[in-house]
Amino acid sequence: MPFRVTGMTPNFSGVRVRLPPSPTGYCHVGTARMAIINFLFAKKNNGTIVFRSEDTDKERSKKEFETDIIDSLHWLGLEWDEFYRQSERTEIYRTALHSLIDSRRAYVSAEDSKKEPGKIVNVVRLKNPGTKVTFTDLVRGEITFDTTELGDFVIARSADDPLYHFAAVVDDAKMGITHVIRGDDHISNTPRQILIQESLGYDRPQYAHYPLLLGSDKSKLSKRTGDTSVKSYREEGYLPKAFFNYIAMLGWTPKSEREIMSVEEMIQEFEIADLHKSGAVFDMEKLRWFNRSYLLKMPAEEFERGALAIMESSLAVREVKWSEETGKSILNLVRERIHVWGDLRALIAEGELDYFFANPVLATDEIPGKGGNLQDAEKHLKELQKIIVGIPANSFNNPEKIKTAIWDYASREGRGEVLWPLRYSLSGRKQSPDPFQIASIIGKDAVIGRIESAVNQIAL
């Protein structure tokens, strides 16, 4: 009969899962995925979610990392019902640890310190019965370990300082955790934890181990790599709902086989058995596609609010005069070109949108375009100026009407020879939207003025 610690396994009802991040680094994509999978499972089963900060690593755990993890999961829309911090539960672990020592299911062993050679430390080892441990994994099926090779393994640095395996087992029992859902890198931890459970007389939770995320090179994502922290994606301007949706779909195919789903729809369809058994590759382009899908279906007012705020602040950095009217006029153009808010910041930082707000700086030798000459460019620009003066002001907000007015002349003289000088005069960029679109946004007076500036520059 296993030894049972009186009062250590309170009665709980229903499904209970835990989110147990270690605050030894910023919130990693893998941590977010673990939390999302547990969240979906708990919500599907009307369960309870327990957040447990596993800060027993005193040297590496930091408050700033814990704060970042909490903020990142909240940003994704995740909430929990209970919160615990292992550093505040040492007396609970000490009681359980001493009960094992007193019952002779664990013992204190004087050994050389691994950190300080020559120093003797008193670690605590669990007496391993050397049995075979079998458990049914909800993702992988039946798994068996022969625990003999583990020997009497260490469960505490001292009689008052438990290691991760021991603290996690005590917490899972004390918190009534029914399902331990985690990455498959923890499979090797499971036999140790089951032996500790049996020594303490705890009920065994159900286990589900899903494959880890892989980088584009098929290697494991690194927790401390900045570009895989949730924080970095948040700062880049990804939408939390899009990020949640993409992460949830990594290694999971709902029966409907849909990709774009609301959280409520994901909860309705989620089944542990549908998790894949092979690793999922974290694909940046796919993530960008998800985010663009969410941007495109964002309500117009919400998109306008976000885009205008970014344009105003980013243009201020470049000391380009801001015009809300102009900003609103290029919203559709912006929406077509970006996948994430960070793309808009990048466009502005590179000067890609300056010409909508200010006259461009032109390089004289670029005005004719490749294969053209300044004399012909000057001729075409002067003719275009005459045509544009004749376009009614109330037609100038329509790119197609501007195009219609210019097209016959451009077709007759050569579209490239005519339209390149016009586009470059309006934008000062080798790549830009077509000149009719630019013209309709900046207005008739600005177009005439920019053409005149280009002609004057040629004449110098």
pLDDT digits 0-9 by tens, 368-404: 988 788 999 999 999 999 999 999 988 898 999 999 9
Contacts of 202 (CB under 8 A, 6+ apart): 8, 9, 169, 172, 173
Mean pLDDT lowest among 59-63, 109-113, 317-321: 109-113
**pLDDT of res. 154:** 96
**pLDDT of res. 118:** 80
Mean pLDDT of 133-155: 96
For residue 379, which phi and psi values (nearest 5 degrees)? Answer: -60, -45
**pLDDT of res. 1:** 27
Mean pLDDT of 91-101: 95
Rounded to a whole number of angstroms, the CA Rg of the chain reads: 32
Sheet hosting strand 179-183, strand order edge to edge: 82-85, 48-53, 16-19, 179-183, 206-210, 132-137, 141-146
Write the CA distances from 195 to 3, 160, 335, 349, integer angstroms: 12, 20, 57, 58
> Global pTM?
0.90
Query: What percent of the chain shows pLDDT beyond 70?
Result: 96
Distance CA 258, CA 230 (A): 24
pLDDT tens string 312-338: 999 999 999 999 999 999 999 999 999
**pLDDT of res. 222:** 58
Q: Decide if pLDDT at 261 tops 60.
A: yes
Distance CA 303, CA 69 (A): 27
Instruction: Look at the block and give the residue holding tokens 């019902």.
Output: 81
Q: Say how far residue 76 (Cα) sits from the centre of its chain.
A: 9
**pLDDT of res. 10:** 56
Q: Decide if pLDDT at 246 tops 50.
A: yes
Which residues does residue 294 pair with via DSSP β-bridges, in sequence order? none
Sign of the alpha-carbon dihedral angle for 327, 331, 335, 341: positive
Mean pLDDT lowest among 34-48, 158-172, 262-276: 158-172
Mean pLDDT of 273-302: 94
Q: Decide if pLDDT at 142 tops 90.
A: yes
